């Protein structure tokens, strides 16, 4: 289980979260929603141990703390939504091979590439790929790591409807097998379709929403919380 306890987070001189607590269970999909500037990306990076925000409080992942840097990086994989994960001069296949080696993955590269649609451009260099192809590759890398906790920042960004559906199905299957997924997104229909619960960031607090219990969609809650 991933837990934040009495956790505060800021970026530069801006406070983003103030003494919040959160638990992420294995096998769950959690949506993270807020307008730009509220700290979604900063929070995901902080949890993954790759951010530059100012954090205090307790963070633990299956008993692993940020002091155990190597173990934490194997337990959590953070995939940004802007392709900064990728090296322009390497091919898509190069990236998959590197991920398999670094995370000691037992998955077959060819199978992952075919399921995610990356096989169609596996030998192309990243600099030649469209934004949608780069996003497909970033997600394929995330799946290939077999990390038990995936933090996905705008994972459906730039994907066409077919690839949104493909990756939605993959995420559901991963969660069913025990992977915990936290996904920030502005595509609220997709959040509704995938998330077991939705966390909104408002006034430096985390507000939990259970869409099944309330029968209220993410867009409706978003409008109510941020209408001003």
pLDDT tens-digit profile, the chain (228 residues): 999 999 999 998 899 999 999 999 999 999 999 999 999 999 999 999 888 889 999 999 998 877 777 788 889 999 998 989 999 999 999 999 999 999 999 999 999 999 999 999 999 999 999 999 999 999 999 999 999 999 999 999 999 999 999 999 999 999 999 999 999 999 999 999 999 999 999 999 999 999 888 889 999 999 999 986
Alpha carbons 10 and 43: distance in angstroms, whole number:
9
pLDDT of residue 49: 87
**Helix H or strand E segment including 200:** strand 197-202
Q: Are 159 and 134 in contact, with CB atoms under 8 Å apart?
A: no
**pLDDT given at position 203:** 96
One DSSP character per residue, 140-168 reads HHHHHHT-SEEEEESTTTT--HHHHHHHH
Residues 92/128, Cβ–Cβ less than 8 Å: no
Residue 113 pLDDT: 98
Sign of the torsion formed by the C-alpha atoms of 133, 46, 96 and 107: negative
pLDDT computed for residue 73 by the predictor: 81
What is the per-residue pLDDT for 228?
Answer: 62
């Amino acid at each position: 289980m991933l837990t934040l306890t009495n956790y505060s987070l800021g970026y530069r001189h801006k406070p983003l979260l103030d003494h919040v607590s959160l638990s992420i269970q294995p096998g769950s999909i959690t949506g993270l929603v807020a307008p730009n500037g509220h700290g979604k990306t900063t929070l995901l990076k902080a949890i993954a141990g790759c951010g530059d925000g100012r954090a205090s409080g307790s963070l633990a992942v299956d008993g692993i703390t940020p002091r155990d840097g190597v173990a934490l990086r194997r337990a959590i994989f953070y995939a940004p939504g802007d392709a900064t994960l990728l090296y322009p001069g390497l091919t898509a296949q190069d990236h998959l091979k590197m991920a398999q080696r670094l995370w000691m993955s037992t998955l077959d590269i060819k199978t992952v590439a075919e399921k995610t649609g990356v096989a169609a451009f596996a030998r192309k260099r990243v600099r030649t790929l469209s934004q949608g192809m780069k996003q497909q590759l970033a997600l394929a890398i995330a799946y290939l790591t077999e990390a038990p906790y995936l933090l996905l920042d705008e994972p459906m960004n730039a994907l066409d409807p077919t690839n949104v559906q493909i990756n939605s199905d993959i995420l559901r299957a991963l969660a069913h097998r025990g992977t915990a997924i936290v996904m920030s997104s502005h595509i609220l229909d997709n959040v509704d379709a995938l998330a077991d619960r939705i966390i909104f960031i408002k006034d430096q607090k985390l507000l939990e929403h259970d869409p099944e219990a309330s029968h209220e969609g993410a867009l409706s809650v978003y409008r109510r919380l941020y209408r001003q």
